[in-house]
Amino acid sequence: MLFGGIEAGGTKFVCAVGTGPDDLRALTSFPTTTPGETLERAIAFFRDQETPPEAVGIGSFGPVDPDPASPRYGTITTTPKPGWANTDFAGTIRRALGVPVAFDTDVNAAALGEHRWGAAQGLDTVLYLTVGTGVGGGGLVGGQRLHGLVHPEMGHVFVPRHPDDPFGGTCPFHGVCLEGMASGPAIEARWGQPGRELPPDHPAWDIEAHYLAYAVVNFIVTLSPQRVILGGGVMHQTHLFGRLRTKVQQILNGYVQAPALLDEIDAYIVPPGLGDRAGVLGALALAQEAVAGAGSRGG
């Protein structure tokens, strides 16, 4: 039985068919354009497979409606991305392919993928943050994907300003929230060039680590995750991990007494074990859960 996964990002879609990281039968990516064109391309990818998937999982940018009991389940709701607000993403895929479709946020899917095959194996409370075009967070708490009223919007927590940073922030809703200060576009707006062009000794990175560290500390003291995984394009700057670990320890100041934080932080704040495939593999894992769930309900 093969599964399909869609990692839907604001700039690109990644689609895969397989059963896991060691058994990916097909993988493709293409730019996110209009909903009609982009979803049609995803549908065509799955239809063109010799063995079509038995279920499809979607990890999507949002905000989304992730509540399976809601009539708007699987819909992208209020995104500022042009054309995508109120897109019935899961429903469109389900009707086109005629298979079960499971849906969650991109970061919850990535956390699930890391739990199944990556850096969060054997843990039941983990945080996954992505720092790229946007900043988002998801995870598992007690083994369950993190949902609630809607879903967490961890990219929009408020973090204290770095003393050397007068930047006004890029978030259209809040200005100086985490995403407004630490996303890829925020780095580019602050310095006039994209982060990938800034050398590792540029002051940009101390400021970046400052905002990420305060956010990670806020999540450590609220969720008490057993591990914190950071992915996304900005985290390709691997020197950020060392800065981030040091600052997290400084800010916590020994308050949370756990060996993972005090002595083993190199293994606590880590990149995704699945690399840039965490999202699409997590979407595959969502599809597997959908089929297992249907089976256990007798469907």
Chain residues in the site for Zn ion (CB under 5 A): 156, 171, 173-174, 177
The residue among 173 and 255 lying less far from Zn ion, judged by its C-beta, is: 173
Instruction: State how far the Cα of 71 lies from the Cα of 53, in Å rounded to an integer.
Output: 25
Query: CB of 112 within 8 A of CB of 145?
Result: yes
**Min separation Cβ 159 and Zn ion, Å:** 11
**Min separation Cβ 118 and Zn ion, Å:** 28
**Min separation Cβ 133 and Zn ion, Å:** 14
**Min separation Cβ 81 and Zn ion, Å:** 15
The residue among 16 and 212 lying less far from Zn ion, judged by its C-beta, is: 212
The residue among 17 and 171 lying less far from Zn ion, judged by its C-beta, is: 171
Give, in order, the Cα–Cα distances in Å from 261 to each of 99, 216, 269: 44, 12, 9
The residue among 41 and 156 lying less far from Zn ion, judged by its C-beta, is: 156
Query: CB of 70 within 8 A of CB of 151?
Result: no
- Token look-up 């970061």 returns 107
Q: Which are the contacts of 14, defined by CB distance < 8 A and separation ≥ 6?
A: 6, 7, 27, 28, 29, 277, 279, 280
In DSSP terms, 102 is beta-bridged to 57
The residue among 41 and 174 lying less far from Zn ion, judged by its C-beta, is: 174
In DSSP terms, 228 is beta-bridged to 127, 269
The residue among 90 and 107 lying less far from Zn ion, judged by its C-beta, is: 107
The residue among 175 and 200 lying less far from Zn ion, judged by its C-beta, is: 175
- Token look-up 């086109």 returns 96
Extract the tokens encoding 221: 């003291």
Q: 144 phi and psi, to 5 degrees? A: -105, 140
**Min separation Cβ 121 and Zn ion, Å:** 32
**Min separation Cβ 80 and Zn ion, Å:** 11
Give, in order, the Cα–Cα distances in Å from 197 to each of 11, 202, 204, 232, 288: 20, 10, 11, 16, 40
**Min separation Cβ 177 and Zn ion, Å:** 3
Instruction: State how far the Cα of 150 lies from the Cα of 148, in Å rounded to an integer.
Output: 5
